[in-house]
Amino acid sequence: MEQKAFSRAVSALPSLTAVLRRIFAVVEDSNSSVLDITRVLQMDPAITGKVLRLANSAYIGIPHTVSSIQNAVTLLGTRRIQSLILVSILSSVKKNVCAPFPVISYWRHSVCTALIAEAIAKSLRRFDCAIDENELFSAAILHDIGKLIAATMDSESFVQLYKQSILKEVPFFMIENEEEAHSSLGGYYAEHWGFPNELKQCIQMHHEPLSDKKLALRISIIHVADIMSHVLGFKIFSEEVTPMIQEDVLNLIGLPLERLRVIAQSVIEDQKSIEAFMDIVNEI
Ligand SMILES: [Fe+2]
Ligand SMILES: [Fe+2]
């Protein structure tokens, strides 16, 4: 991407405040204890409130109330807290995005993709796959962040490009200019924010899941979850064309189609979890 376009993209999105940067660093540090994370989270009352709300939501689904932030941290895990922070920062972007880009559908698609990716990773646990489902959730909820960036930069042109892909009946990612593709934009932004390299790669490669040999399984799960989310009707634009799942990708994941169908069904039936996240997105 040209330097000028990149600077425009970076200035279009909110930046991390000093407190959030600190929270992010502590959450990211594998040596941090629950107490360290609790202390740093308490520096931001808005984030603390959201962590508590998510811990008490249907998504976690425990019968008693979680009133201490320390218990909420243990229950949610650091990766989920990290995605919560990112989602709540990025959801403020909707104020800047002009009308034609359907921000709410964008978030619903992202949340649904994340829930499916998490469910696939849980199913793979039985086969001793070393995939951290929380990590996967974070990457999946951010997989299309480049679309939000593009829509923030120039909503009108972005929606125009989407309409072209619908008219030509091709999936959106196939009509994009490679240099400014949403996957590249997302990758640049992930780097700018100092996301871990794995997270950046998952965002950047989600339409070419087999290109990164080391992360192929993780990226393939996000790729499949993304397409399943389309098939379930959680699209950004209702008329957009759903990409095809490559057979090699399905083979790599190795779950029978029947199992994927059960996962899709359970996510659809678990509307409360989707709404718990949408609540946080809509709040700002
Ligand atoms: Fe995408
Ligand atoms: Fe997507």
For residue 26, tell me if it sits in a domain: no
How far apart are the C-alpha atoms of 252 and 249, rounded to whole Å? 5
Q: What is the pLDDT of residue 16?
A: 63
User: For residue range 97-148, what is the model confidence (pLDDT) as tens digits?
Assistant: 656 888 889 989 998 999 999 999 988 876 666 777 878 888 898 899 899 8
Q: Is residue 22 part of a domain?
A: no
> Is residue 3 over pLDDT 80?
no
Asked whether residue 39 is assigned to any structural domain, the reply reads: no
Q: How many domains does the chain contain in total?
A: 1
Contact yes or no for 222/117 (Cβ under 8 A)? yes
Tell me, yes or no, whether 52 lies in a domain: no
Nearest ligand (C-alpha, residue 147): 1
Is 0.75 surpassed by the pTM of this model? yes
61-87 residue pLDDT tens = 888 888 888 999 888 887 778 777 777
In a domain, 199, yes or no: yes
Report residue 273 as tokens: 């979890």
* CATH number of residue 179's parent domain: 1.10.3210.10
pLDDT of residue 230: 95
Residue 160 maps to a domain: yes
Range of the domain at 157: 3-10+94-283
Torsion sign over Cα 253, 58, 229, 195: negative
CA of 222 to the centre of ligand 1 (A): 10
Instruction: Give the distance (Å) from ligand 2 centre to CA of residue 31.
Output: 33
Residue 40 lies in a domain: no
Question: What's the confidence (pLDDT) of residue 113?
Answer: 95
Distant-in-sequence contacts of 266-272, Cβ < 8 A, 24+ apart: 266/119, 267/112, 267/115, 267/116, 267/119, 267/232, 268/232, 270/58, 270/115, 272/57, 272/58, 272/59
In a domain, 49, yes or no: no
d(CA 82, ligand 2 centre) in Å: 20
Question: Which has more pLDDT, 8 or 144?
Answer: 144
197 alpha carbon – ligand 2 mean position (Å): 20
284: pLDDT strictly greater than 50: no
Backbone Cα Rg of the chain: 18
pLDDT (mean) for 195-205: 89
pLDDT tens per residue across span 228-245:
999 999 999 999 999 998
pLDDT confidence of residue 272: 80
Distance 172 CA to ligand 1 centre (A): 8
Q: Which residues contact 141 (CB under 8 A, 6 or more apart)?
A: 83, 86, 87, 110, 111, 113, 114, 277
